[in-house]
Structure 1
Amino acid sequence: MGAVFLQHALKAPLWMGVDLFFVLSGLLITGILLDRKARGQSYFSHFYARRVRRILPPYVLLLLVSTLLFGSSWLPHWPWFAFFSTNIGLSLGSIGHDSLNVLWSLAVEEQFYIFWPFVVLWCSERALLWVAAALIVAAPVLRAIATPWFDSFWPIYYLTPFRMDLLAAGALLAIVLRRDRRALEPFYPLAIVGALVSLAILGWLHLSFPRFRAANTPLSNAALYSISLLLCTSIVVIALRGRGLVQRVLTNPMLVYVGTVSYTVYLIHLSVLYALWPLHLNRFVTAVLALAITLAYATLSWYGFERRLTRGPARRAVPAAAGTTA
């Protein structure tokens, strides 16, 4: 969440923050589904009921707040919002006020929820491992092939089929960890190297070829998001080790709390920024003020109704590090 907020508030080149969320989401959702499947308990009803309670109330509240702040320009586009397909709407044009553009990643997540529970239920863990690996390989190829279909890189960035490598990477980690909780231990040094190398490449591209991401070429669309995949997966592997400094950081009470309210923080933060920008304050003052208002809103939402609806403990450690929760 921190990376996404800094990207929007200070124009920092941290667009890969959402990619980290997708990897974590694939990990967590696949783990939940595998657990329910193994226990032989209610599967679909339990999963979808929890998703509805967690996602829908803050989502509806955001639309109400957006209407109060910025008007009802989103209403002509209501089908995109009603069917969690704002990523498709954005790929085709506009969905109303720009503060609602953050919902594209939630749409990707919801579309993942439509089919992935069936894949997990119908496949053995071994087959699921191969499915996840195939998606990781197929997504960049699909991005490269599809590039000529679009006038800009945004549809590649927004649409679910082109981002499935991130979700599949998280799913693959979940399957491996389910087989052996220590299976990732030998890969910890490689994860550190992967994170450093991918950061270096992304930094070099940003400084030397600032238009690389917007170039909308098969190379840029295939390679850039694969580098981000390496970075985000490496970070998750490092976090999963959960020892020493990493453990202390991820179990910090403040970070754990921010992780708990991160879904609502993600939903509302851009609306808060759009409400403050017309005041023409110093950008750092605006960022600090927006962060304070966003956290206050998320706290009120959590204690006001979200906590009761979720009927579960706050998420810990790795989700807190991720930032966004859908």
Structure 2
Amino acid sequence: MIPADSFGPGFFRLVLACFVMVSHVSALNVGEPAVFVFFMLSGYWVSLMYLHKYAHHPRPLQVFYLSRFLRVWPPYAAAVVLSILTTGILTGTAPTQFLPGIALFGVASTGLDALNVSWALDIEMQFYLLLPFALVAVRGWSPTLLFALSVLGAVLGWWLYLGIGLKTVLCYLPMFAAGMLVAMRDITFSNRAVTLATLGFVAVIAVFFINDTLRAFFIKTRPSPFNEEWMTMGLMLLLLPFVAWNVRQKSGWLDAHFGNLSYTVYLLHFPVIANVSTLMGGGLTRTEKLILPLAVAVISVFFYIIIDRPSEAFRRRVMKKQFGKVPA
């Protein structure tokens, strides 16, 4: 019997990663909304982690940055190298132009994205750099002021991107700020509020699909009638009560694995889809496309066991030594 705590925050992150995969095997534009919810979750989890753990270390910045680097970059770098090598073997031409993107920072601006999802990891890493300073700067600020400033930051971020092509965490600051607020202020919602907000979100999405004009927002083959990023942020913020509820659910050992596996699925799904499609000659039928999620699942589990788990175990050993040096 599967424990009741197997479908908590970790499983939710895996579902979001699967939404990103669905977006890459269909015409549905559901990947970007899922990524924006990931940003909200990062705002919560990483803020909580820093406040409860790293902020009390004598060298909080160095240890926090080291921990985040060791969690994100090694699996990412392995996925990039494997993607380039596999593509080279299957097509005879390795896309080595993506190799500079292995540095991760700047991928969102340069487009050197071998995995087709690395831009979001670049934004995440920028958020990690900013977070310790932001937590100190906004201490004591009202939630309304903090969120309003995050919107102004987003306006500045998009001005920079549209003006000089520099894409930064500022573009998505409202999503991170929402998660930060939940962590910093320990914001909770009643079960009734969560239910009503979630039903309201579902109703709004239903209206989008019912309306012929608004439906274009979720269909990649049709031009959207409005700015997709801003509309996506607005829609996903409607899920804030659900997110605040979800992060406080019990998480057992299986749920923890689901959550960790979500990162592997996120990293690998696009290169797996592209290479399996190449093997099958491209132009896949709907039935043949059912093979793609299965291939992603199998390869992701192998990558998770062989690369991601050992990498995480190494990070934990490094962090144990760092905190072992701290006087009681």
| TM-score normalised according to structure 1 size | 0.73
Of the two structures, which has the highest relative contact order with CA contacts closer than 8 Å and spacing of 6 or more?
Answer: 2
1:133 aligns with: 147
Q: Which amino acid aligns with 2:188?
A: L
- How much identity, in percent, do the aligned residues show? 22
Residue type of the alignment partner of 1:88? S
Q: Tell me if structure 2 keeps the 8 A contact 1:22–1:166.
A: yes
Specify the alignment match of 1:239 in structure 2: 246
Q: Flag the 1:146–1:83 CA change in 2: closer, same or farther, 3 A.
A: closer
* Residues 40-81 of structure 1: per-residue CA shift (max 9 Å, x gap): 443122212222221222112112211122236653354444
Residues in 1 aligned to 2:49 and 2:58: alpha-carbon distance in whole angstroms: 12
Structure 1 residues 232 and 105, CA, compared in 2 at 3 Å: closer, same or farther? Answer: farther
Cα offset, 1:162, TM superposition: 1.6
Compared with structure 1, are the counterparts of its residues 300 and 135 closer, same or farther at alpha carbon in structure 2 (3 Å cutoff)? farther
CA RMSD of aligned residues (A): 3.4
Q: Does 1:225 align with 2:232?
A: yes
Paired residue for 1:56?
73
Aligned match of 1:110: 125
Gaps of 5+ in 2: 1-16, 317-328
> Is the contact made by 2:77 and 2:102 (CA closer than 8 Å) also made in structure 1?
no
**Structure-2 residue corresponding to 1:316:** none
CA contact (8 A) 1:119 1:128 kept: no
Task: Say which SS state the counterpart of residue 303 (structure 2) adopts.
Answer: helix
| Match in the other structure for 2:323 | none
The answer on whether the counterparts of 1:80 and 1:86 sit within 8 Å (CA) in structure 2 is yes
Partner residue, 1:36: 53
Alignment of 1:14 onto 2:16? no
Cα 1:9/1:252, change in 2 over 3 Å: farther
Q: Where is the helix percentage greater, Structure 1 or Structure 2?
A: 1
CA distance in 2, matches of 1:189, 1:167: 25
Count the aligned residue pairs.
286
Which ranges of structure 1 fall in alignment gaps of 5 or more residues? Answer: 178-182, 314-326
Residues 72-151 of structure 1: matches in 2 within 5 Å?
74-90=95-111, 95=112, 100-120=115-135, 122-123=136-137, 125-127=139-141, 132-138=146-152, 141-142=155-156
Q: Residues 74 and 170 from structure 1, CA distance in 2 versus in 1: closer, same or farther, beyond 3 angstroms?
A: farther
- C-alpha distance in 1 between matches for 2:217 and 2:285: 29
